[in-house]
Amino acid sequence: MEKARESFNRGDFKGTIKQLSNFEKMGYDRYESLMLLGYSYFYLGKGKDALKCFSGALAVSPDSKEARLFLGKSYNMIGKKQDAAAAFNEVLKIDPDYKEALINLGVTLVELGNREKAEESFKQVTEKFPDEKRGWYNLGLANFYKNNYDISEDCFKRALALDPDFLEAIYNLAAVYCMTGNDQLFSEYVEKIKVKNSRLAKMMINACNKERKKLKR
């Protein structure tokens, strides 16, 4: 078992899978073996295989928050968003304050088109974990898509206060200033994007020009 752990810790996921191929015959702990296998398949992008492992781990330990969280992530990986949301909700029944489940549920609900419920999930993250930049960022996105630009601006700024190099927050602040017609701040944030990624800065300028043309129609 130790060799499997070592392989996993150094990022050798294929090696981990090989080490655990006969874990039952070797007498290894079933739950830990299935979790390590599940993680390895997940990080290799093999969602279906990961799903089987995390399902197996849950059969051994039904109250495992980690196994159920990664069950949801695996469902997302293979495009089963409804099942993913159900898995994250099950985690939150066990632990309503589980940050990763709240964030993953919110993102999944956005992808399902349920932005109101997603916003509720992100609000819980910001209330319970005010130092979590992903909560503020995603709450900002939820409000941006509802045209609540003042709220989204505040959320993106809070995310940036926690991580000044958070490129996604910088990018979306530029988008806010594009939509609100604040050319000075738009230009300032495009320059900040340009320092980090010139191609992304050009994409923002083009996207802004297209949006403004739509508004003029």
Q: What is the CATH number of the domain that holds 6?
A: 1.25.40
Mean pLDDT over residues 96-109, rounded? 96
Domain boundary among 80, 97, 129: 129
Q: Is the domain of 77 the same as that of 25?
A: no
Using alpha carbons only, what angle is made at residue 74 by residues 155 and 44, rounded to the nearest 5 degrees? 100
Output the pLDDT for position 8: 85
- Specify the CATH number for the domain of residue 122: 1.25.40.10
Q: Is the domain of 202 the same as that of 143?
A: yes
Q: Is the domain of 215 the same as that of 137?
A: yes
Query: How many structural domains does the chain have?
Result: 3
Alpha-carbon distance of 17 to 87, in angstroms, equals: 25
Q: Is the domain of 170 the same as that of 206?
A: yes
Residue 210 above 80 pLDDT? yes
Q: Is the domain of 150 the same as that of 113?
A: no
Alpha-carbon distance of 205 to 103, in angstroms, equals: 30
Residue 15 above 80 pLDDT? yes
Residue 26 above 80 pLDDT? no
Residue 6, CA atoms < 13 Å, CB-side half-sphere = 4
Which tens digit of pLDDT belongs to each residue from 48-81?
999 999 999 999 999 999 999 999 999 999 999 9
Residues 6+ apart with CB under 8 A from 79: none
Q: Is the domain of 146 the same as that of 212?
A: yes
Q: Is the domain of 148 the same as that of 87?
A: no
Alpha-carbon distance of 39 to 46, in angstroms, equals: 10
Alpha-carbon distance of 51 to 202, in angstroms, equals: 39
Q: Could you give the C-alpha distances from 117 to 44, 107, 210, in angstroms and in order? A: 31, 10, 30
171: containing domain: 132-217
Average confidence score pLDDT of the chain: 93
Q: Is the domain of 150 the same as that of 179?
A: yes
Between 29 and 106, residue with greater pLDDT: 106
Between 24 and 33, residue with greater pLDDT: 33
Q: Is the domain of 160 the same as that of 116?
A: no
Residue 217 above 80 pLDDT? no
Of 108, 186, 193, 120, residue with least CA distance to 153:
186
